[in-house]
Structure 1
Amino acid sequence: MTETTNDPISTTNLDRHGSAELPWSRPRDLLAGDTPTSDLTFFVATARPDGRPHTAGVGAIWVQDALYFQSGPGTRKSRNLAANPACSVSVRLRGIDLVLEGEAGRVTDPSTLERVVAVFREGGWPASVTGDALTAPFNAPSAGPPPWYLYRLALHTAIGVACAEPYGATRWDFTR
């Protein structure tokens, strides 16, 4: 999987109304500053084995320039990711709608799990690490029973459409 970097390797202006390219720092800084404490709703889109799409809400946070999200092992999205890690995650941030595209890989490294769980706890979700997964007293009803898997999105592309000034639409490519 490709590692996320601070800066994209290429930027494409998608705006058809004359607005300038948006800097990657705009959505990146919002992700870093607003997760996990803001009430943001993230949606992950995966593909079923027969190719049909599946989209579901997930708990997600941005930690050290990467997006992490969690899902129960028996959920459709986890089963889809096990067969095909390609996915996209969308979120509406303050002033910009964002779609992140890449591959999701399950995180089992104890130090990464502990680092990400600490950020989830800062946001009010009292998660802890048990083995190579997460547990907590509660989660979304659709997540199924604990433990829950943690995934890291290896970012390939992001697309942002600004809905507040400065306006614009931009594609950022990260794949090396």
Structure 2
Amino acid sequence: MPKSMLDTRYSDPSAEAVPWGVVAERLERAGVYWITTVRDSGRPHITPLIGVWLGDAMLFCTGGQEQKARNLAGNPAVALTTGTDALDRGIDVVVEGDAVVLRDEEALRVAAEAWAAKYGETWRFEVRDGAFHHADGGAADVYRVAPRVVFAFGKDPYSQNRYTF
């Protein structure tokens, strides 16, 4: 269980810390995440993707030729965000950590089942050679991000919460 802290400097006086279970559930249920990686030039690269919160880490996949994969080869630091564009309800979540390629085939099979359960048969992957393979012939590496820190931004009332691992 992560250590949590409500930052009262940026929270409504009536706010209470968002329980970690609520944040973890939001990470599990989200359909789309936004990932920020860092280009060789130091500029950020941000793109939407799908992924799964599995156990205690965020997983996502990408082809080796994609910009985010090229960025991660030089700098594994990432931020993954999800939430809602509503101003007065919901929770926005930011996961910060380092993305590490997952090669263990048993762990990849568990991840592949999680993808199919969450997103349907369109996103069913075959696991071989330490990667995901799609029916269309494409291959993707799977990355695991064990959070270093997670932020949750509550909106009713406004709160800023920090969870450290």
Q: Distance in 2 between matches of 1:137 and 1:110?
A: 18
1:120 aligns with 115
* RMSD value, Cα: 1.9
Q: Which amino acid aligns with 2:37?
A: T
> Which whole-Å deviations, capped at 9, do the CAs of 1:63-85 have from their partners, x for residues lacking one?
11211001110111011111110
Q: Which amino acid aligns with 2:132?
A: L
> Which whole-Å deviations, capped at 9, do the CAs of 1:15-39 have from their partners, x for residues lacking one?
332112222221112323x25xxxx
1:72 aligns with 63
1:28 aligns with 24
- 1:136 aligns with one of 134, 137, 156: 134
> Do 1:42 and 1:89's aligned partners in 2 also have CA atoms closer than 8 Å?
yes
2:100 aligns with 105
Report the Cα offset of residue 9 of structure 1.
Answer: 2.9
> Do 1:95 and 1:162's aligned partners in 2 also have CA atoms closer than 8 Å?
yes
Report the Cα offset of residue 167 of structure 1.
Answer: 4.4
2:164 aligns with 173
Secondary structure of the corresponding residue to residue 54 of structure 1: strand
> Which whole-Å deviations, capped at 9, do the CAs of 1:82-101 have from their partners, x for residues lacking one?
11101100011682111100
Q: Which amino acid aligns with 1:155?
A: P
- 1:154 aligns with one of 121, 146, 161: 146
Q: Which amino acid aligns with 2:70?
A: R
Report the Cα offset of residue 168 of structure 1.
Answer: 2.0
Q: What's the TM-score, normalizing by structure 1?
A: 0.81
Q: Which amino acid aligns with 1:8?
A: P
Which structure has greater helix proportion?
2
Query: Which 5+ residue runs of structure 2 have no aligned equivalent?
Result: none
> Do 1:130 and 1:147's aligned partners in 2 also have CA atoms closer than 8 Å?
no
Q: Distance in 2 between matches of 1:72 and 1:134?
A: 9
Query: Which 5+ residue runs of structure 1 have no aligned equivalent?
Result: 1-6, 139-144
Query: More deviation in 23-32 or 62-71?
Result: 23-32
Report the Cα offset of residue 12 of structure 1.
Answer: 3.9
